[in-house]
Amino acid sequence: MLKRPRIVLLAFDGFPLDLFRPAMTPRLWQLGQDGGIAPQGGRTGLPSTTYPGFTSLLTGAGQWSHGVRTTAQRPGAVPGWAGANRTAVPTIMHAARDVGLRTAVVMGDHQLQRVMVLDDFDTAWPPAGIVPDGTELDAHGYPTNAALRSHLLEAASDPSVDLLFVHLNETDTLGHDLGPNAPATARCVRSADALVGELLDALAPDWERTVVAVTSDHDMVLRLPFPTIDPMASRDCAGLADDWIADGCAAWLRLTPGADPHMAIDRFSAMHGVAAWRWHEPNILLLLAAPGRIFAQPYVPITGIHGSLDTARTLAIVGGGHPAVDELGARIRDVAPRLRDWAPTLARILEIELPDAEGTDLLEPMASRAAG
């Protein structure tokens, strides 16, 4: 008789993928050696930024369903034509809670917590999405990994918790300010790995029923010394768009009513620094910057940037003693998992329904082969 599963979903913000290696992250590396690692990492949607990525991770849905299409917020644009500022579909945490499973949430970004509607969880830290006074904050005003330590270890030590979501933010802040390969960023990654080690040790007593999935939302690259890209300043593109919002190395544009979308795509994609585009709705265009380039916006990170194609990869590691880990590990070694694939996969292990999920249940093909 199988014991009831326990799942820990550990998510790093802006983890620099090049720093995932045995000497730098020994506990994460060993976890993946014993379970499974996607050799080229996992994949994110576009833009490769925090809110769309993590909302897809926890809902299993794409951004056109959950509605969170950018991390930038500006009234009129967001919420508005460029998306919502709260997910429109429930997360796996909500689905688990609704069927009576015990959940816990520990997050280093209280604003992201609100985007994913995890601020209403009575088992969440920070409580109600409000960081308690006296909490140690990083340079961007988010709780440090050290500030989360006691909360995540407490949740990991509680055998009654069925599903634990942990979000660690500090790698993102250091990556933006100092760069993905800076010594201080590397130190942060090392100490985050040590914290993972403590988390795994706290899970050890119940290891045989535990699944640990480790992901991140996007990679980080160095900004190159080029001017920022402003689609509205281009004379060739004049009149083709009537609003836009930058999201790091990506930008959403709303085309002017009556503008020919094909001409708009031709002109905007020919701008210096634009590498690619996505056209989804008749009047909505996503521009993606070339490596090292970023769009003009109120806050432009000094050193590390993300949002385009080159940062659309994630950590993708699975470990634990639960029997599903071997299958899942084998699967992600073969096929790079997308962020939206994790929630339906973990929902299967927990035997809960996630009707709004659009991702692939990574355990499905093998399960049906076994059944057939």
- Whether 203 and 210 have beta carbons less than 8 Å apart is answered as yes
Interacting span for Zn ion (CB under 5 A) from 10-18, 187-195, 227-235, 319-327: 10-18
Minimum Å gap between C-beta 270 and Zn ion is 29
Alpha-carbon distance of 367 to 358, in angstroms, equals 18
* Token duo for residue 44: 């994110």
Q: Which is nearer to Zn ion, 166 or 350 (CB)?
A: 166
Interacting span for Zn ion (CB under 5 A) from 21-29, 84-92, 212-220, 361-369: 212-220
As beta bridge partners, residue 193 has none
Minimum Å gap between C-beta 193 and Zn ion is 18
157-176: contacts with Zn ion (CB under 5 A): 172
217 binds Zn ion (CB under 5 A): yes
Give the H or E element holding residue 66. Answer: helix 63-66
The residue count for binding Zn ion (CB under 5 A) is 5
Q: Which is nearer to Zn ion, 170 or 172 (CB)?
A: 172
Q: Which is nearer to Zn ion, 320 or 337 (CB)?
A: 337
Minimum Å gap between C-beta 14 and Zn ion is 4
* Token duo for residue 101: 């499973």
Interacting span for Zn ion (CB under 5 A) from 25-33, 39-47, 95-103, 210-218: 210-218
Q: Which is nearer to Zn ion, 28 or 211 (CB)?
A: 28
Q: Exposure of 102 by Cβ count < 10 A (0-12 exposed, 13-18 middle, 19+ buried)?
A: middle
Helices (H), the chain: 26-34, 50-59, 63-66, 92-98, 110-115, 145-157, 170-178, 183-203, 261-269, 324-334, 339-350, 364-371
Q: Which is nearer to Zn ion, 217 or 341 (CB)?
A: 217
138 binds Zn ion (CB under 5 A): no
14 binds Zn ion (CB under 5 A): yes
Letter for the amino acid at 289? Answer: A
* Token duo for residue 34: 């014993």
| Strands 250-255 vs 163-168: parallel, antiparallel or unpaired | unpaired
13 binds Zn ion (CB under 5 A): yes
Interacting span for Zn ion (CB under 5 A) from 109-117, 119-127, 214-222, 353-361: 214-222
247 binds Zn ion (CB under 5 A): no
Minimum Å gap between C-beta 307 and Zn ion is 10
Rule CB under 5 A: choose which of 44, 50, 210, 308 binds Zn ion.
50
Q: Which is nearer to Zn ion, 173 or 360 (CB)?
A: 173
Q: How many CB atoms lie within 10 A of CB 233?
A: 12
52 binds Zn ion (CB under 5 A): no
| Strands 250-255 vs 241-247: parallel, antiparallel or unpaired | antiparallel
Minimum Å gap between C-beta 252 and Zn ion is 17
Q: Which is nearer to Zn ion, 138 or 172 (CB)?
A: 172
| Strands 6-12 vs 163-168: parallel, antiparallel or unpaired | parallel
Q: Which is nearer to Zn ion, 84 or 115 (CB)?
A: 115
With a CB cutoff of 8 Å and minimum separation 6, the contacts of 157 are: 202
In order of 63, 161, 293, the CA distances from 309 in angstroms are: 16, 37, 11
Interacting span for Zn ion (CB under 5 A) from 5-13, 102-110, 117-125, 176-184: 5-13
As beta bridge partners, residue 74 has 78
Least Cα distance to 85 among 50, 60, 61 occurs for: 50
Residue numbers of the site for Zn ion (CB under 5 A)? Answer: 13-14, 50, 172, 217
